[in-house]
A and B are shown apart, each in its own frame.
Chain A
């Protein structure tokens, strides 16, 4: 079994459960930027609709759900990790938080077709907003590089600049956005 099969199994399980979910993290970033390697697949789950235990139960014994819950450091969202034991591929489930942008990002999610099944993903603006926040608050250089990649690949006309700047002003990340836009404007 390879990790493509793993991703398909997890998405199928989420769709079967009618889970409120979206794929986030580096895989979602790959949709809009230059694809890069990823060691995990991250999902946001709406706690009102489903939970990681239900997903793990449906997936069966090829997966192991960690008992311990941890927290993501920017929005303090709770996280549960599911491991596909054969490949070591990690599935991380983040609970949808009460953070205003987290809620907005989830409400604006869109669906794409992935191997003939629907998969829910954030919009390009929300990927940029989230990654900028991580780059500034979490001080992670790779998040700024991810935003640079997305801005370089996307055309300006594909991005809702008003919405984007509204949130970067709230998060204090507009300066970094402008630096990255200037860096990629000649492509």
Chain B
């Protein structure tokens, strides 16, 4: 076990249950923002609805990959 993992464990011990529950959802939001920003750069003229549709397609692909693991 390396120092980075040990730090993650000690940080998790210091977090309240509510904070930890929120963290998983906030990470989803961070991923969503990163994917949308990438899609925007790849499709600079797409409107918000189109970008959201592309995001939903990308999310479905990610879920398929995860289910196959």
Binding site for B on A (CB under 8 A): 2-4, 7, 26-27, 30-31, 33-39, 86-90, 112-115, 119, 140-142, 149, 152-153, 184, 186-187
Contact = CB atoms under 8 A, between A and B. Distances in A.
Given A113-B18, A153-B9, A153-B13, A39 B25 contact: no
Interface string B2-20: 0001101101110101101
B50 to A, nearest CB: 14
Interface string B23-49: 111111101100000000000000000
Contact of A39 (B9, B20, B28, B69): B28
Contacts of B12: 33-35, 149, 153
A88 B55 CA distance: 8
A3 B18 contact: no
Given A2-B29, A141-B69, 13 more contacts: A3-B28, A3-B29, A31-B21, A35-B20, A35-B24, A86-B52, A88-B55, A88-B59, A89-B28, A114-B21, A142-B66, A153-B13, A187-B6
Count class of interface residues, chain B: 20 to 34
Interface of B: 1, 5-6, 8-9, 11-13, 15, 17-18, 20-29, 31-32, 52, 55-56, 59-60, 62-63, 66, 69
